[in-house]
């Protein structure tokens, strides 16, 4: 019987000729990623070894990645102390894929991993972050785990007791209209599937629209696959994957893309034609409360955010800069921009995007998660509304349970910054 991409990856990683949905397997882990919550992973990891008589030892330090992004620079002594504890662990254990709070190699984990070629097609990637689904953009099976599960992986080098998930095939055709793109596609899909429509399942993306999509766009759609509950999103590796890894990540060793079998079994197939798709907005307070933009045009916004592991990449900043060049952010609205990595920040500087955004009145912040998870760098005031290119709009998400968060693409965010209300970028500001 044929296998899906994830079934093939799991079979390889578990040393089995084949697997099928529901099988319980223990795949070897190719990459294990954590961020600030490594502080908890370390705690659980030491707990695992206590009483065993064995000295704590990570299975393979070269396969562990730790990236500081959630609270950078530290917003509190507590976070700073967590950072310190993690740095000491990194040094003691010889972990080389470590990205500290830095303006050269720092950034959001879900940009740093692809950017440095840490993820390859066919890999099994686990990360202590739900948006670890992002790395399916490079043809890997990549999923989020809790801190204790990561501690187990650090000790054993395997993901224990993984049930082979069923796969939903998503076939996307058509060419995006101007000012419509990958973010609108994934918001639309989440609206169709609902926030739990893909729970315990994989979304495998196919079709001409995906083939023609950049890795940046693929990262955005795989990133938000978890918002439909998916274990992972995945785009089978292709020419674009190889191009990205060679040209942008500087990978020189062999790259093997994994394709699904023609007779693979899917639990469901979803077909989407994007040619008539309008810009999409996820409205408060659920990610699946998705509406075409014309239903929310004119909604007043006090804060615009462009950035995050979903939409803080170079093309996102370029699109925003093109709209804001020579314009001004509306009075009464503040605009915050978070490049997804230091590398992207540098490229955006060189190309003048940062200048354009700042001249328009945007505050350009250091690379990191920023206000997306409501910790620092842009909390909402009581009853305020944000329009953001991030991935979640749960109540309280941007730091204030009385606030409202709308999710959109970078071009919608940029056009709305000029007017101070949700604005259709196709109609101009």
Partner 1 sequence: MAKVIIKLENDISTDDIYPGRFMATVLPTETPQYAFFDRTDFNAQLKAKAFPPNSIIVGGENFGCGSSREQACSTLKGHEVAIVAKSISRIFLQNSINLGLQVVICPGIEASEGDELDITPDHVVNKTTGKTFDQVKLPAARKGIMDAGGLIPYTRARLMARG
Residue ranges that bind partner 1, judged by CB under 8 A: 24, 36-37, 39-40, 43-44, 47-49, 51-52, 54, 70-71, 75-76, 78-79, 82, 128-130, 132, 144-149, 151-152, 155-156, 160-163, 195-196, 199-200, 229, 231, 286, 373-375, 392, 394-397, 399, 401
Is the distance from CB of 144 to CB of 162 less than 8 angstroms?
no
Q: Please name the residue that has the structure tokens 């020419």.
A: 239
Q: Phi/psi at 297 (nearest 5 deg)? A: -55, 140
Instruction: Identify which of 237, 408, 202 has the alpha carbon closest to the alpha carbon of residue 323.
Output: 408
Supply the DSSP string of 218-263, one letter for each residue: HHHHHHGGGGGT-SEEE----HHHHHIIIIIS---S--------TT
CA separation for the pair 149, 127 (Å, rounded): 9
The answer to whether residues 135 and 170 touch, using CB atoms and an 8 Å cutoff, is no
Q: How far is the CB of 141 from partner 1 (least distance, A)?
A: 14
Min. distance of Cβ 172 from partner 1 in angstroms? 24
Q: How far is the CB of 87 from partner 1 (least distance, A)?
A: 15
Count of C-beta atoms within a 10 Å radius of residue 40: 17
- Minimum CB distance to partner 1 smaller for 8 or for 71: 71
- Nearer CB in complex with partner 1: 75/271: 75
- Tell the smallest beta-carbon distance from residue 334 to partner 1 (Å): 20
Rounded to a whole number of angstroms, the minimum distance from the CB of residue 199 to partner 1 is: 6
Q: How far apart are CA 220 and CA 313, in angstroms?
A: 9
- For residues 66 and 329, give the distance between their C-alpha atoms in angstroms, rounded to a whole number: 36
Three-class SS state of 212:
coil
CA 130, 132, 134, 137 torsion-angle sign? negative
Nearer to partner 1, 129 or 424 (CB): 129
By C-beta, is 7 or 356 nearer to partner 1? 7
Q: For 345, phi and psi rounded to 5 degrees?
A: -55, -45
Closest CB 333 distance from partner 1, rounded Å = 24
CB of 51 vs partner 1, minimal distance in Å = 7
Biggest CA-to-CA distance, the chain: 68
Task: Select 181 or 403, whichever has its Cβ closest to partner 1.
Answer: 403
Any idea how long the chain is? 429
Count of CA atoms in the C-beta half-sphere (13 A) of 413: 34
Q: Which is nearer to partner 1, 112 or 202 (CB)?
A: 202
CA 331 – CA 325 distance, rounded (Å): 17
Nearer to partner 1, 55 or 254 (CB): 55
In the three-class reduction of DSSP (H, G, I as helix; E, B as strand; rest coil), residue 323 is classed as helix
Instruction: Verify cis geometry, omega within 30 degrees of 0, for the bond prior to 156.
Output: no
Query: Which positions ≥6 away from 355 have C-beta within 8 Å?
Result: 349
Q: Which is nearer to partner 1, 8 or 392 (CB)?
A: 392
Q: How far is the CB of 181 from partner 1 (least distance, A)?
A: 24
Return the number of the residue (250 or 401) whose C-beta is nearest partner 1: 401
The encoded tokens of residue 197 equal 């429509």
Q: How far is the CB of 292 from partner 1 (least distance, A)?
A: 22
The SS3 call for residue 318 is: helix
Shortest distance in whole angstroms from residue 55 CB to partner 1: 11
Reduce the DSSP state of residue 249 to 3 states and report it.
coil
Nearer to partner 1, 48 or 363 (CB): 48
């Amino acid at each position: 019987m044929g296998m899906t991409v994830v079934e093939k990856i799991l079979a390889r990683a578990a040393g089995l000729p084949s697997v099928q949905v529901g099988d319980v397997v223990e795949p070897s882990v190719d990459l294990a990623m954590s961020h600030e919550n490594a502080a908890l992973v370390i705690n659980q990891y030491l707990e695992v070894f206590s009483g065993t008589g064995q000295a704590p030892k990570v299975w393979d330090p070269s396969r562990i990645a730790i990236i500081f992004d959630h609270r950078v620079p530290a917003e509190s002594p507590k976070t700073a102390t967590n950072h310190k504890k993690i740095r000491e662990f990194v040094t003691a254990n010889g972990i080389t894929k470590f990205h500290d709070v830095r303006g050269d190699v720092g950034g959001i984990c879900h940009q740093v991993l692809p950017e440095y070629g840490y993820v390859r097609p066919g890999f099994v990637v686990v990360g202590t972050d739900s948006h670890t689904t992002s790395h399916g953009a490079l043809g890997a099976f990549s999923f989020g785990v809790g801190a204790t599960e990561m501690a187990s992986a650090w000790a054993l080098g395997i993901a224990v007791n993984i049930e082979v998930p069923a796969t939903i095939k998503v076939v996307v055709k058509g060419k995006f209209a101007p000012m419509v793109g990958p973010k609108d596609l994934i918001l639309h899909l989440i609206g169709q599937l609902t926030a739990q429509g893909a729970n315990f399942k994989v979304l495998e993306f196919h079709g001409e629209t995906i083939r023609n999509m950049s890795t940046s766009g693929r990262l955005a759609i795989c990133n938000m696959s978890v918002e439909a509950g998916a274990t992972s999103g995945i785009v089978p590796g292709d020419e674009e994957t190889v191009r990205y890894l060679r040209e942008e990540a500087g990978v020189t060793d062999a790259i093997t893309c994994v394709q699904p079998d023609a007779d693979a079994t899917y639990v469901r197939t979803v077909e989407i034609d994007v040619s008539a798709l309008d810009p999409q907005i996820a409205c408060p307070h659920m990610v699946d409360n998705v509406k075409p933009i014309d239903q929310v045009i004119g909604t007043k916004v006090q804060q615009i955010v462009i950035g995050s592991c979903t939409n803080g990449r170079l093309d996102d900043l370029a699109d925003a800069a093109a709209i804001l060049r020579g314009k001004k952010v509306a009075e009464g609205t503040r605009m915050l921009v978070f490049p997804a990595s230091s590398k992207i920040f540098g490229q955006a500087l060189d190309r003048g995007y940062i200048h354009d955004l700042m001249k328009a009145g945007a505050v350009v912040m250091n690379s990191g998660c920023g206000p997306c998870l409501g910790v620092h760098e842009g909390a909402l005031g009581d009853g305020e509304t944000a329009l953001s290119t991030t991935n979640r709009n749960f109540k309280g998400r941007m730091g204030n349970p009385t606030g409202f968060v709308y999710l959109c693409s970078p071009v919608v965010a940029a056009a709305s910054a000029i007017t101070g209300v949700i604005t259709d970028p196709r109609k101009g500001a």
